[in-house]
Amino acid sequence: MTEETPGFDKEPDVPSGATPDDAEPKGAPSAEGASPAGDAAAQVAGLTAQLDQVRTALGERTADLQRLQAEYQNYRRRVERDRITVKEIAIASLLSELLPVLDDIGRAREHGELVGGFKSVAESLETVAAKMGLQQFGKEGEPFDPTIHEALMHSYAPDVTETTCVAILQPGYRFGERNLRPARVAVAEPQPGATQTGNGDSPESADGKENGGPEEG
């Protein structure tokens, strides 16, 4: 004979009108699902603020880049300008040292001594100087200009109407806009008080013709 444990076969007490499933408590709603619209608005506001910050930083960096680029372009132009200036000064200095040699070549040519190998070397030197930008100026008959001419001799001449270069004693040279040496010239001015009429007669002869000429005795 087995001994039964009292109350082992009894079912648990369940309230009337309720099922066993109803006895289990239902889970409470989560906090995240409580207000989804409010959380979305907060996220949008945060992203908008971050976007504004990024735009502001981008504008500042763009302005800095543009300023640096402008400064770099100005620096490049200044360096290039200085480089050209230094180059021109060096060439002008070299050409200035060659002027006495060119003067000797010119005098030798005037005296007919520019012959043979010396002529070939002299012409090559003149060609190289011309390629480097050396220009000769000063011609007989041109008006005297004190900015490019240096008058070493002065005289009067009846056939000039203004101060004129009548002889080139030493040619002038320029390099670009730089005058390396003025042209040394002899100048002539019109005769003081000399006036001419349109037909070349003197005022006295013109007056004599108007008055009918001298009376015959």
| Cβ atoms of 138 and 173 closer than 8 Å | no
Residue whose C-alpha is closest to residue 180's, from 95, 71, 112: 95
pLDDT, tens digit (0-9, with 9 covering 90-100), for 161-213: 999 999 999 999 999 889 999 999 999 999 887 654 444 444 444 444 444 44
Alpha-carbon 53 to chain mean position: 40
pLDDT, tens digit (0-9, with 9 covering 90-100), for 108-159: 999 999 888 899 999 999 999 999 999 999 999 999 999 999 999 999 998 8
| Secondary structure of residue 168 in the 3-state scheme | strand
Residue whose C-alpha is closest to residue 99's, from 136, 131, 59: 136
- Identify the residue whose tokens are 């320029």: 174
Strands (DSSP E) contained in the chain are 134-137, 149-157, 164-170, 172-175, 178-181, 183-190
CA 75, 79, 84, 86 torsion-angle sign? positive
CA 118, 121, 123, 129 torsion-angle sign? negative
The pair of structure tokens assigned to 126 is: 């003149």
Burial of 105 (0-12, 13-18, 19+ CB in 10 A): buried
pLDDT, tens digit (0-9, with 9 covering 90-100), for 62-114: 999 999 999 999 999 999 999 999 999 999 999 999 999 999 999 999 999 98
